[in-house]
A and B are shown apart, each in its own frame.
Chain A
Amino acid sequence: MLYDQFKAKAEAVSAEVYRFSDRNAALSWLVDFLKREGMGDTPETAALWASGPFLTGGERQQLTSGSGISFVVTQEMAAQARFGINLMAWALADTGTLADNSTDIDQRLVSSLPTIHIALVPTAGILPDMPSLFTRLHPRDCSYLAMITGPSRTADIERVLTIGVHGPERLVILCIDAFEGGK
């Protein structure tokens, strides 16, 4: 129910939303997606993954050696990379928004500089609205609370809606059912 609302609202602002039953399903789709969309080993085609509780150490190693995903994130790399991947712990159904404690700078680098931002979201983290988020995520224990609703956009030239100004051109959201998100 909340998922359907979230999906509809997020898609209405040009985000792409997919749902997976578990981590493995999401992971293999993601690897396919990255290949399909041109991940390579040049800085411009790189995929950067902000470290988080999503992967086990073993999986991380496997992904690094097997596919070229980097778990090291720097400003220079992020500024050139095509893909940025991170975990966003929360989502708001009524506006199609992702939310997270992004105090860690890597969380922001991968979600603001690359061309495509891929967010992994526990389906259970979808909340009805902002007030319910604020009872769970509070500045008390979060220096940079980030909310993201669709890709970067502008209407500053002749009011024509154009996607992808300073932030990502695409926002791809992977909702995962059997995943607690490490909260």
Chain B
Amino acid sequence: MDKDFKESIHRALTNGNLTGALGAFSEAYTVNRAKAYDGIDFEELRKKIADLKAYAAANLEQLSAEFTHNAEARGATVFRTDDPAAVREYILNIAQENKVTRVVKSKSMATEEIHLNAYLEKAGIEVGETDLGEWIIQLAGQTPSHMVMPAIHMTREEVSDLFSKEVNERLSSDIPRLVKVAREQLRPRFLSADMGISGGNIAVAETGSIVLMTNEGNARLVTSLPRIHIVLVGIEKLIAHFADVATILKALPRSATAQQLTSYVSIITGPTANPDGSMKNMHIILMDNRRSEMAADPLFKQALQCIRCASCLNVCPIFRLVGGHVFGKVYTGGIGTILTAWFDALKQSEDIQSLCIQCGACKDVCPGMIDIPGLILELRRRLVQEQGVPLLLKSIYTVVNNRSLFHGMLRAASVAGKPFTSGKFIRHLPLFLADLTDGRSLPAIAAVPFRDRFKKIAQPTQREKVVFFAGCLIDFAYPEMGEALVTTLNKAGIEVLFPEGQTCCGAPARYSGVYDVAERNAIDTIKALTAVECTWVVSACPTCTVALTHDFLSTFESVGQAGWLTEARQLAAKTIDFSSLISKLIEEKRLTFQEGKSLEKISYHDSCHLKRTIKVSKQPRELLRRAGYDLTEMFESDTCCGMGGSYSLKMPEISAPMLQRKIRNIKATGAAIVAMDCPGCVMQIRGGLDQEGTDIMVKHSVELLVDYLK
């Protein structure tokens, strides 16, 4: 990891204004967004948007031509280019031909992408941002920290200092007063500018229209007052039909700022008269800058479905800690990582892609239905392919790839005992790394792993058999969870099988972008688990469950492995998570709860993979309630605990505050027990609570249910 990058993270994390503002915003945003979407079927709406944007991405060539034709028929001049340098030159040319001295801009990310301001200023043209946030940033000589709220990291005092300098007068930090000052300062610039530059939220091929949305009203002035209007849009803003504008406008303001609609929407089709009666000189630039290439990529084409609402930033547990600056100068957050990799260079995303913990929160709210974590993983894979695996990781995965060696090492670690800080190699085994992060204790490796204990469990032979896939954590750190699972299923008259050949599910390798190892792990697992007859393959680790149900297939697809697809599909169809299986058995009355129990006050933490990939969140709660626990919800129960496999070890500085936040929310419930369905989360949260010295118990649901089932 680059040293500057590490420092920028540290700077962000220790900037109280930034983390405070972003934290408060993201909390409020979740609530307000839900309100804004009240009565709207979001899934149906975003399916429509994804479809219409995907159609546009697949037909960029045709839509560009259609747009050009229609906009020109209405009197605009359209210039299409692939090259950012050509865009800059084109704009400067028009400016010079028309003796432009002053430009006013309304917010446009595309102009930031090509660093237009600096270019025009160098040529002696005054360029003024007019969006309040952008203007603040411009005065401060900074770059935006958020796509929609560029100056969210600044306090009113900082703004008042900037403005005071600008107007040569000591201003108070009263916000309405500061806004007035901005109005007064910018008004004359609007009135005297010769050229207005805007972006565009949507470009409609059918009509040649540009759609612009603002709350402040600056875009209306930028597009109405100066005699020249330049529009710069990326070609991903194209859509085919005018009627679809309403569809996007239904989602964009709701997702962006939880508004039903922005104060102003302008739909501009060709030039109109200027205030002095002359006709406006209107130019529309359709910029490609690798977007067509992106559209041709089978995976990344979906990134063009983005409508730039920034909701993926607002819900990202990492973004709310570090803000936009660590991501670079233009596009930020998860989607920004992807766009930077393309518009800039893959190499540019090397550091920032590692910020993603793969929690999936962004994917859940994205109105363009973009699989942001999936694409970030793909970047990781391509980076590894391009640059090779770092030596240390390679040696780790050589071990993980060899089951007997891997398991041998784990056993050796348990013999060596805790702490695992001795022996360099063991220290760096995935999931068991002991570069102990602040604020968390790691579990000891069990003296006797589950695979050995299993042999000692006396099970009655039953007709129905279920295969248990333990995964590394339950097998080697929490064998008691596995034992509870066996006992539970036995109560339902099911015999549990544990195929010895099972090994790591490959998640650690996959999430590090090391796909050849993930592929090997997948094949080994498939071989082991499909060798025996069974009705289900059950897992009590959501990450493993996701590996078996989703990741094997996608890994095979990525590496072009066609030989195991059928088996992978069969395995996926049979695999089920623990809580879902128990819910089924209860429904079928093969398991029943003991009656009349009144148990402790409990709270439930949603694990990312279980809630957002497997879509299970009601079942475990229902089970715990029916067992007799007094369930009380914690705040942000589905926000990532900061574990993320080896993330907590690679990014301890970010993982730690995530864990602290989780612990605060758990404590606030006053519950005696916190339940979850993931051994990884147990490890993280138990470690955190243990360090704090609280006596709140951290348990996997399987351990909490086993005693109360008949």
Contact = CB atoms under 8 A, between A and B. Distances in A.
A94 B224 CA distance: 28
Interface stretch (B79-87, B262-270, B320-328): B262-270
Nearest 5 pairs of A and B residues by beta carbon: A167-B217, A156-B133, A75-B275, A145-B267, A165-B216
B528 to A, nearest CB: 53
A108 B217 contact: no
A140 interface: yes
B21 A108 contact: no
A41 to B, nearest CB: 22
B15 interface: no
Nearest to A15: B263
Nearest to B210: A139
A183 B26 CA distance: 45
Interface string B259-292: 1111111111111111110000000000000000
Contact of A155 (B130, B149, B243, B265): B149
A168 B215 CA distance: 11
A152 interface: yes
A146 B21 contact: no
B270 A147 contact: no
Interface string B229-270: 000000000000011011001100000010111111111111
A124 interface: no
Contacts of B218: 165-166
Interface in B498-551: none
Interface stretch (B184-192, B384-392, B633-641, B673-681): B184-192
A139 B264 contact: no
Contacts of A140: 207
Contacts of B204: 139
Given A74-B275, A157-B159, A167 B263 contact: yes
A113 B216 CA distance: 12
A131 B241 CA distance: 12
Interface string B164-203: 0000000000011011101100110011000000000000
A137 B132 CA distance: 31
B41 to A, nearest CB: 15
A42 interface: no
Nearest to B265: A147
A125 interface: no
Contacts of A105: 224, 272-275
Contact of B242 (A134, A147, A156, A166): A134
Main secondary structure of the interface of A (DSSP, over half): loop
Contacts of A74: 275
Contact of A131 (B155, B243, B261): B243
Interface of B: 21, 24-25, 28, 74, 130-133, 136, 149-152, 154-156, 159, 175-176, 178-180, 182-183, 186-187, 190-191, 204, 207-209, 215-218, 220-221, 224-225, 242-243, 245-246, 249-250, 257, 259-276
B272 to A, nearest CB: 5
Nearest to B267: A145
A33 B266 CA distance: 29
A74 B273 CA distance: 13
Interface residues of A, number: 49
B707 to A, nearest CB: 48
A160 B217 CA distance: 17
A140 B73 CA distance: 11
B200 to A, nearest CB: 14
A154 B246 contact: no
Interface in A141-179: 142-160, 162, 164-168
A54 to B, nearest CB: 21
A152 B209 contact: no
A162 B175 contact: yes
Contact of A143 (B180, B182, B264, B270): B270
A108 B216 contact: no
Given A145-B267, A162-B176, 7 more contacts: A9-B260, A105-B272, A134-B246, A139-B209, A147-B261, A148-B263, A159-B149
Contacts of B209: 139
Given A75-B275, A108-B224, A109-B224, A166 B263 contact: no
Nearest to B208: A139
Contacts of A134: 242-243, 245-246
B216 A145 contact: no
Contacts of B28: 159
B170 to A, nearest CB: 18
B265 A166 contact: no
A157 B187 contact: no
Contact of B207 (A94, A139, A151): A139
A116 B47 CA distance: 40
Contacts of A62: none
Given A108-B224, A138-B242, A150-B263, A157 B179 contact: yes
A96 B245 CA distance: 18
A70 to B, nearest CB: 15
Contact of B264 (A95, A142, A146, A158): A146
A130 interface: yes
A167 B264 contact: yes
A131 B45 CA distance: 14
B189 to A, nearest CB: 11
20 contacts: A76-B191, A79-B187, A94-B260, A95-B260, A97-B261, A97-B265, A105-B224, A105-B274, A109-B224, A139-B204, A143-B269, A147-B265, A149-B260, A149-B265, A154-B179, A154-B216, A162-B176, A165-B182, A166-B221, A167-B216
A112 B220 contact: yes
B156, B220, B265, B272 pick with most chain A CB within 10 angstroms: B220
A64 interface: no
A166 B217 contact: yes
A109 B216 CA distance: 15
B190 to A, nearest CB: 7
Contacts of A143: 74, 268-272
Contacts of B175: 157-158, 160, 162
Given A140-B207, A147-B264, A148-B264, A164 B183 contact: yes
Given A97-B261, A158-B21, A131 B216 contact: no
Contacts of B266: 144-147
A139 B267 CA distance: 8
Contact of A130 (B25, B217, B249, B271): B249
Nearest to A74: B275
A154 to B, nearest CB: 5
A19 B631 CA distance: 51
B227 to A, nearest CB: 11
Nearest to B180: A164
A103 interface: yes
Nearest to A160: B175
A57 B276 CA distance: 24
Contact of A144 (B152, B179, B191, B272): B272
B191 A156 contact: no
A104 B275 CA distance: 9
A129 B136 CA distance: 35
Given A130-B250, A157-B156, A166-B217, A139 B242 contact: yes
A115 to B, nearest CB: 10
Given A143-B270, A159-B149, A164-B179, A131 B21 contact: no
A139 B73 CA distance: 12
B224 A112 contact: yes
A147 B219 CA distance: 12
Nearest to B131: A156
Contacts of A147: 261, 264-267
A165 B179 contact: yes
Nearest to B213: A147
B282 to A, nearest CB: 10
